[in-house]
Structures are given as structure tokens and as C-alpha cells.
């Protein structure tokens, strides 16, 4: 199984809502990532988890809260978002493995988020 799945595909939420994005992979990868992509822009890294521990946080606002319950799952909890947070949220995974490895990443199809 070389697939990364993301749910939901689309999400519309108000600024006072709390919602979660989910990501799952069964490739035995030990590194997982969240990226944000605005329309006609490249993806921008948000968070990196390595061996289920948060290793990189690219100064993301606290209204985005990542969670890695186990090595196959990655969540992104959303609370009090702003309309400018509307974007495509992409999850990815890679083998991981430390400084000697190479991080070819497998991406999910993304969740298209609209904040009203």
C-alpha cells in the first residue's frame, strides 16, 4: 500500500468552529508532514513529525495544533481559524531514518478548507 489518505476531502467551517483533519499511511514511514498550499502558490511546510515526535514547527499559529497518535496517523486540529487560513492542506510521509536518509515524500490528495 503506497497511499496516503486524507479526510475529509472538503471542509467548510466558521471562525468559531473546532474541526480536525486526518491523515493515514500504512507504508511504515516514520516521518509525517503537514503542508499548506494557497491557490496558485507552492506548498509551504507547517509541521514535521519524526518517530511520532514533533521535530519541526515552522512558526505556525497556535490555532493549528498537530497530533501524531501513532506512527500511521497524523491529525491537524483547527480552532478559531481566520478566512485567510482557507487553503489546501496536504499531508505527506517519508521513510525517515535520520541524517543519512533521503526524504522522498508521498503526498495525500489534500483537504480543501474554506473558513467563512
Partner 1 sequence: SQQGEEDPQALSIQEGENATMNCSYKTSINNLQWYRQNSGRGLVHLILIRSNEREKHSGRLRVTLDTSKKSSSLLITASRAADTASYFCATSGGGGADGLTFGKGTHLIIQP
Nearest by Cα to 76 from 108, 40, 30: 108
CA–CA gap between residue 83 and residue 88 (Å, rounded) = 13
Closest contact distance (angstroms) between CB of 17 and partner 1 is 23
Q: Would you tell me which residues interact with partner 1 (CB under 8 A)? A: 4, 30-31, 33, 37, 39, 41-45, 48, 50-51, 55-56, 58, 88, 90, 92, 94-110, 112
CA–CA gap between residue 94 and residue 113 (Å, rounded) = 24
Closest contact distance (angstroms) between CB of 4 and partner 1 is 8
Q: Which is nearer to partner 1, 74 or 90 (CB)?
A: 90
Nearest by Cα to 44 from 92, 4, 113: 92
Q: Which is nearer to partner 1, 41 or 77 (CB)?
A: 41
Q: Which is nearer to partner 1, 83 or 99 (CB)?
A: 99
Closest contact distance (angstroms) between CB of 103 and partner 1 is 5
CA–CA gap between residue 103 and residue 81 (Å, rounded) = 30
Amino acid at each position: 500500500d503506497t497511499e496516503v489518505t486524507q479526510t475529509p476531502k472538503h471542509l467548510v467551517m466558521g471562525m468559531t468552529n473546532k474541526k480536525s483533519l486526518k491523515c493515514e499511511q500504512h507504508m511504515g514511514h516514520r516521518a509525517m508532514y503537514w503542508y499548506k498550499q494557497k491557490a496558485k502558490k507552492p506548498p509551504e511546510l507547517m509541521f514535521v513529525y519524526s518517530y511520532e515526535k514533533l521535530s519541526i514547527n515552522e512558526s505556525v499559529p497556535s490555532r493549528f495544533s498537530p497530533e501524531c497518535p501513532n506512527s500511521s496517523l497524523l491529525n491537524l486540529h483547527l480552532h478559531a481559524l481566520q478566512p485567510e487560513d482557507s487553503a489546501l492542506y496536504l499531508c505527506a510521509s517519508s521513510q525517515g531514518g535520520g541524517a543519512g536518509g533521503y526524504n522522498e515524500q508521498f503526498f495525500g490528495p489534500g483537504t480543501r478548507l474554506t473558513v467563512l
